[in-house]
Amino acid sequence: MKARMGTTRLGPAERSAALAEMAARELDLVVVGGGVVGAGVALDAATRGLDVGLLEARDFASGTSSRSSKLIHGGLRYLEQLNFDLVREALQERALLMQRVAPHLVRPVPFLLPLTHFAWERPYVGAGLALYDSLGFSFGFTRGVPGHRHLSRQRALRLAPALRRAAFTGAVQYWDAQVDDARYVTTMLRTAASYGAHVASRAQVVGFLREGERVTGVRVRDLEGGAEIDVHARQVVNATGVWTDDIQGLVGGRGQIHVRASKGIHLVVPRDRIHSHTGIILRTEKSVLFVIPWGRHWIIGTTDTEWSLDKAHPAASRSDIDYVLDHVNAVLAVPLTRDDVEGVYAGLRPLLAGESDETSKLSREHVVAHPVPGLVMIAGGKYTTYRVMARDAVDAVAHGLDQRVPPSCTDRVPLAGAEGHQALWNSRHRLAKSAGLHVARIEHLLQRYGTLIEEVLALIEEDPSLAGPLAGADDYLRAEIVYAATHEGARHLDDVLARRTHISIETFHRGLAVAREAAELVAGPLGWDDDQIDREVSYYTKRVEAERASQEEDTDHEADAIRLGAPEIVPVDTPVPPP
């Protein structure tokens, strides 16, 4: 176990070393799944002094954890369902993440809630938001965001001129928080690795090691090299989200947790298509629709429909896209068309299967189960409460270990890049001058890396050609692409364009115009020759083409069939349960 010294890189050499370490000895704990929950478990365990490994079959955060609404929130609709405990817990987490754990990554965002009824709605919504604000106070922390305020239609129109005057009667504005969901997971994994966790992506768990009934580890396929290794651990945590039942199948038996998938899609449109200084939240028949500010874009979503098709690449159909456009256009003075849509993404909520048939009413709370000795399953919950889920899972692990394990301390562990962030932000003009970059660039980098910006700037110092933006995605510097491969665990072009950056949803070309430049930039660190560069660009191109074509199809089945037509650069088998 090493003492924490700086922030560990997640480059190719570190991945090989992590796999070798995991194969070499019995760990205290191995975590299956590198989404926000698995990453949270790895960090929680490592900071309690446990020897922990984490295995992710695809790219880190490539499941649900890069496809959310990217909000750290209590959830107004849970308030409406009178689930006060869930809302309170989530709002306390919001304050903690924003103020201590990751102030560089989690920031406040305002929402305008247009009212449509004259008499009863304002007192009803006002009372709900007053409660929402008050539940946000927690011991030792302020709420971290301004309180709600009532607005006349006139004042609301000044904040959001894009709204159609006749579509509402007045409004209430409140605040929540937002995060780059994929980036948060990678940052958490780098933090965990800095505290001694061994983490590897493209490492699929294909079976469990057993001694009688007891689970004693996992069999892993290294999808980059093809080798299989056994990882022995005193406890295994399954944190595979919508894949929970598949993993349960590998263990055998009926299982104590069942997870259903519900699909939600989002559209990304350029910021100038909707003239507003605030996010907007709209009520829909089933749930809510958000219009969320996202850099030079808006993210609009989401939907909530049952999904039983491919879990790795859920497809958005034409009907999903029309649903979102119809609902947002109901309040806009100038309607959006499909031509305004830069990007589309779909994700699957891991919902604990309950009594209700309607997915939007299934529980968002989490459960921890212990189906057989040596195995802990954690599922459900939501992004905002990952830390609480991780704590509960590691508490269950501690119970199964024959030793005293200290309590969780992740409420006091800032993520990599957090410490000193405010001071650096305050000095951004000086930093811009010394780095020879515009202050707007420095702000962009600080909001993505916090104090780890130093590492990105060091790459530029070594090779000044990295100081320029990508031709065709000029929000991002060439250095950020290299950094994704050297420090942030990206192994393929798709990892870089879809998760370390969001070029795949933030440009009308969906990343195609920068694919070759980005591939050439990461070729050195990842050891690619010209053939591999061509292969990566070709796979990425097919992926984008298949996604675009699937979005023209009316039904989920048609969209899924077309999306699956594009091959994966590293195929992941569906686990086959033992006979």
Q: Smallest distance from the beta carbon of 447 to ligand FAD, in angstroms?
A: 18
Kindly tell me which of 53 and 347 has the beta carbon lying closer to ligand FAD: 347
Kindly tell me which of 62 and 486 has the beta carbon lying closer to ligand FAD: 62
With tokens 């950094």, the residue in question is 483
Closest C-alpha to 30, from 42, 15, 19, 40: 42
Strand duo 279-283 + 106-115: pairing: parallel
Residue pair 271/299 in contact by the 8 Å Cβ criterion: no
350 binding ligand FAD? (CB under 6 A): yes
Of positions 7, 8, 47, 62, contacts ligand FAD by CB under 6 A = 62
279 binding ligand FAD? (CB under 6 A): no
Kindly tell me which of 344 and 453 has the beta carbon lying closer to ligand FAD: 344
Of positions 7, 65, 194, 408, contacts ligand FAD by CB under 6 A = 65
Of positions 10, 31, 36, 288, contacts ligand FAD by CB under 6 A = 36
> CB neighbours (10 Å) of residue 450?
25
Of positions 8, 204, 317, 504, contacts ligand FAD by CB under 6 A = 204
- The tokens for 375 are 């195995």
> CB neighbours (10 Å) of residue 508?
12
Alpha-carbon span 82 to 16, nearest angstrom: 48
**Which distant-in-sequence residues (6+ apart) come within 8 Å of 220 by Cβ?**
19, 22, 55, 203, 204, 205, 206, 228, 229, 230, 231
136 binding ligand FAD? (CB under 6 A): no
- The tokens for 445 are 């980098």
Kindly tell me which of 136 and 170 has the beta carbon lying closer to ligand FAD: 136
Residue pair 198/42 in contact by the 8 Å Cβ criterion: no
Residue pair 223/207 in contact by the 8 Å Cβ criterion: no
349 binding ligand FAD? (CB under 6 A): yes
Q: Smallest distance from the beta carbon of 407 to ligand FAD, in angstroms?
A: 22
Kindly tell me which of 75 and 114 has the beta carbon lying closer to ligand FAD: 75
57 binding ligand FAD? (CB under 6 A): yes
Strand duo 198-200 + 52-55: pairing: parallel
Local structure of 102: helix, strand or coil: coil
Q: Smallest distance from the beta carbon of 154 to ligand FAD, in angstroms?
A: 31
Kindly tell me which of 62 and 83 has the beta carbon lying closer to ligand FAD: 62
> Which residue stretch of 13-21, 239-247, 407-415, 543-551 sits at the interface with ligand FAD (rule: CB under 6 A)?
239-247
The single-letter DSSP state of residue 125 is: H
Interface mask toward ligand FAD for 163-202; x: CB under 6 A: ----------------------------------------
Q: Smallest distance from the beta carbon of 346 to ligand FAD, in angstroms?
A: 7
- The tokens for 205 are 């768990």
Kindly tell me which of 186 and 451 has the beta carbon lying closer to ligand FAD: 186
Which residue's Cβ lies closest to ligand FAD?
Answer: 35
502 binding ligand FAD? (CB under 6 A): no
83 binding ligand FAD? (CB under 6 A): no
Q: In angstroms, how far is CA 90 from the centroid of its own chain?
A: 16
34 binding ligand FAD? (CB under 6 A): yes
With tokens 């992740």, the residue in question is 410
> Which residue stretch of 224-232, 238-246, 315-323, 330-338 sits at the interface with ligand FAD (rule: CB under 6 A)?
238-246
Helical axes 453-462 vs 439-449, angle rounded to 10°: 130
74 binding ligand FAD? (CB under 6 A): no
Kindly tell me which of 48 and 67 has the beta carbon lying closer to ligand FAD: 67
> Which residue stretch of 44-52, 382-390, 452-460, 560-568 sits at the interface with ligand FAD (rule: CB under 6 A)?
382-390
**Which distant-in-sequence residues (6+ apart) come within 8 Å of 399 by Cβ?**
none
Kindly tell me which of 55 and 162 has the beta carbon lying closer to ligand FAD: 55
Q: How many residues bind ligand FAD (CB under 6 A)?
A: 40
Q: Is 486 left (phi over 0), alpha (psi -120 to 50) or beta?
A: alpha
Of positions 10, 29, 37, 113, contacts ligand FAD by CB under 6 A = 37
> Which residue stretch of 15-23, 33-41, 225-233, 329-337 sits at the interface with ligand FAD (rule: CB under 6 A)?
33-41
Strand duo 473-477 + 469-470: pairing: antiparallel
569 binding ligand FAD? (CB under 6 A): no
Q: Which ranges in 142-290 belong to alpha helices (H)?
A: 153-159, 181-194, 244-251
- The tokens for 7 are 């922030």
381 binding ligand FAD? (CB under 6 A): yes
Q: Greatest CA separation found in the chain? A: 70
Q: Smallest distance from the beta carbon of 517 to ligand FAD, in angstroms?
A: 27
Q: Smallest distance from the beta carbon of 425 to ligand FAD, in angstroms?
A: 25
With tokens 């406890």, the residue in question is 235
Alpha-carbon span 344 to 224, nearest angstrom: 28
Closest C-alpha to 182, from 346, 312, 64: 64
Helical axes 453-462 vs 478-486, angle rounded to 10°: 110
Kindly tell me which of 351 and 459 has the beta carbon lying closer to ligand FAD: 351
241 binding ligand FAD? (CB under 6 A): yes
Residues that bind ligand FAD (CB under 6 A): 32-38, 55-58, 62-65, 67-71, 73, 204-205, 239-243, 247, 264, 302, 347-350, 381-384, 575
